[in-house]
């Protein structure tokens, strides 16, 4: 029986994982496979991702014999990282299946297609990066102010302990100057 590790990822908090999870779980149920879903909201450019790391740990402990993803770029956009993962899957005799496009690394054609699609995904990521850089440079030349407006507050939760440590260091410097 197949023990399937499903990996789902979106890049930002405002995106949903349901679009990926639904067809992956449906496939597992249709085939009668047991599965566990690893899901996270983080950029695919990051090599170290919490849920990916947990999945890899479980794979190394032989808890799963198959990895199932919705699209190749959900696992990673870097060709070298993607190929490193697939090579590790192959070395541990773990089947890798991607639903869209349909790729199964148990065949030579599937492996070839995976390499081509990984290269295309990396090209796409680099092209997005270039377009964003060109747009930001254009806006700067036009005098558009980028970032938060002056006087606005950062609304993200921050660790206060780091703030207090920095504040105490500044207080010490100020008291040394006054003495």
**CA 92 – CA 62 distance, rounded (Å):** 8
Residue 11 annotated to the active site: yes
Of 11, 48, 78, 100, the catalytic one is 11
> What contacts 9, CB < 8 A, 6 or more positions away?
17, 20, 39, 40, 41, 42, 44, 49, 51, 52, 74, 75
Q: ∠ CA 77-83-86 to the nearest 5 degrees?
A: 110
Catalytic site residues? 11
């Amino acid at each position: 029986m197949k023990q399937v590790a499903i990996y789902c990822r979106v890049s930002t908090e405002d995106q949903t994982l349901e679009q990926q999870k639904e067809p992956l779980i449906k496939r597992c149920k249709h085939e009668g496979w047991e599965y566990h879903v690893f899901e996270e909201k983080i950029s695919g450019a990051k090599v170290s991702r919490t849920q990916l790391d947990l999945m890899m740990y479980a794979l190394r402990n032989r808890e799963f014999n198959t990895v199932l993803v919705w699209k190749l770029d959900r696992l990673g956009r870097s060709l070298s990282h993607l190929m490193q993962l697939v090579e590790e899957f192959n070395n541990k005799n773990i089947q890798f299946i991607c639903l869209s496009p349909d790729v199964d690394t148990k065949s030579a054609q599937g492996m070839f297609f995976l390499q081509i699609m990984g290269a295309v995904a990396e090209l796409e990521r680099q092209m997005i990066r270039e377009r964003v850089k060109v747009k930001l440079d254009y806006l700067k030349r036009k005098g558009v102010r980028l970032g938060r407006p002056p006087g606005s507050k950062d609304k993200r939760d921050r660790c206060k302990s780091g703030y207090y440590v920095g504040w105490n260091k500044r207080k010490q410097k100020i008291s040394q100057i006054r003495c």
